[in-house]
Copies of this chain bind each other. A is one copy, B any other.
Amino acid sequence: MSKYWNSTVKQLQPYVPGEQPKDMKYIKLNTNESPYPPSPRVLEAISEGNNGTLRLYPDPNTDNLRNVVAEYYDIDKDEVFVGNGSDEVLAFSFMTFFSPEKKVLFPDITYSFYKVYAKLLNLDTEIIPLDEEFNIPIEKLCKNSGGVVLANPNAPTSKEVSIDDIKRILESNRDNVVIVDEAYIDFGGASVVNLIKDYDNLLVVQTLSKSRALAGLRVGFALGSKELIEGLNRLKNSINSYTIDRIAIVGAIAAFEDEAYFKELTSKIINTREETIVKLRDIGFKVMDSKANFVFVSHKKMKAEEIFKELRKKGILVRYFNEPRINNFLRITIGTDEEMKTLIEELKNILN
């Protein structure tokens, strides 16, 4: 604590990302990265962009990238906002659409950055408890308050919310923005992107970090009505005109242009996930049905924290959250088939 920090910073509880240890080589199943590299076309595009033009500022409006994303989703460029990873996009969205005088609603078990943003902005929140099976009680989000934030599929539970349920939430929040965080949508979930034409209060947030294997490049985006996107641009342009560097812009464009690679990569991960779920259940794990690139599991015989520690000793990192209700669960990212085979073997050793 320092006398120079303002009162907001003094009370912050910053987000803690999954560890990125440097002491040895791990099988990294703890931060939901892709086990496969990005498209070769991304690397080519970066290679082409790696030249003297780096002396020049990037396009502050990232028009070329927004055009490509808009075309991909069959919407307008003015319905696309691009940011430095979906975390920045989410933070800017909270800053643009939510106010301290009205409560923002989100589930108790969800992406833990939401409550960090709320603290940062001194927002009042209403935390909606998931039911015993970690389903979201939709009716509790169907009231006109100060805004809703929903991860779909939810993290770390991996569970999906149906489009009809999201419509219900949107209908009953006509005066508020509903943020649907689709960071994991490309692994089998049903996106609500098409609803932005019907609901000017819907903001869909996605990222290139997971399904496009570009966590290292920092590009996320939001899709929504022109007025929502204009609000985000006003906010961004009051903080930093150029949040995406020249390299990230060309890399992200190339990622959207290689649809075949994207489909192949996400299919592989979905297949591995389904096989992994069967194998985990075979050795006694309770595993939620997953629409994400991770699974959320617990085991009757051994505490999650213990399994986490034992796996770490074996060189396998998974994510353990020491938080109420989920402190006996592990979030395990889907790796390659080889990595998951090693995981299952080590789990068998640990559990025996």
CB distance from A47 to the nearest CB of B (A): 6
Q: Are B55 and A216 in contact (CB under 8 A)?
A: yes
Q: Are A59 and B20 in contact (CB under 8 A)?
A: yes
Q: Are B37 and A43 in contact (CB under 8 A)?
A: no
Q: How many residues of A contact B (CB 8 A)?
A: 85
Nearest-neighbor residue (CB-CB) of A83 within chain B: B240
Q: Are B12 and A238 in contact (CB under 8 A)?
A: yes
Q: Mark A51-71, 1 if CB is under 8 A from B, else 0.
A: 111111111100000000000
Q: Are A54 and B31 in contact (CB under 8 A)?
A: no
A201 contacts partner chain B, Cβ-Cβ < 8 Å: yes
A248 contacts partner chain B, Cβ-Cβ < 8 Å: yes
A261 contacts partner chain B, Cβ-Cβ < 8 Å: no
Stretch of A90-98, A185-193, A302-310 with 4 or more beta carbons under 8 angstroms from chain B: A90-98
Nearest-neighbor residue (CB-CB) of A224 within chain B: B4
Q: Are B228 and A245 in contact (CB under 8 A)?
A: no
Residues A91 and B240 in contact in the complex (CB < 8 Å), given A6-B96, A97-B6, A234-B14: yes
Question: Shortest 8 CB-CB distances between A and B: which pairs?
Answer: A37-B52, A14-B237, A2-B227, A216-B246, A54-B216, A55-B213, A218-B245, A88-B240
Provide 25 A-B residue pairs closer than 8 Å at the C-beta atoms, listed in order of the A residue: A4-B231, A6-B96, A6-B98, A6-B99, A7-B99, A9-B95, A12-B235, A15-B237, A31-B57, A35-B55, A43-B50, A46-B46, A50-B50, A55-B216, A84-B240, A88-B240, A88-B243, A116-B238, A120-B238, A215-B242, A216-B245, A217-B246, A218-B244, A218-B245, A245-B248
Chain A positions near chain B (C-beta within 8 angstroms): 2-9, 12-17, 20, 28, 31, 33-38, 42-43, 46-47, 50-60, 84-85, 87-88, 91, 95-99, 116-117, 119-120, 175-177, 200-201, 209, 213-218, 227-228, 230-231, 233-248, 251
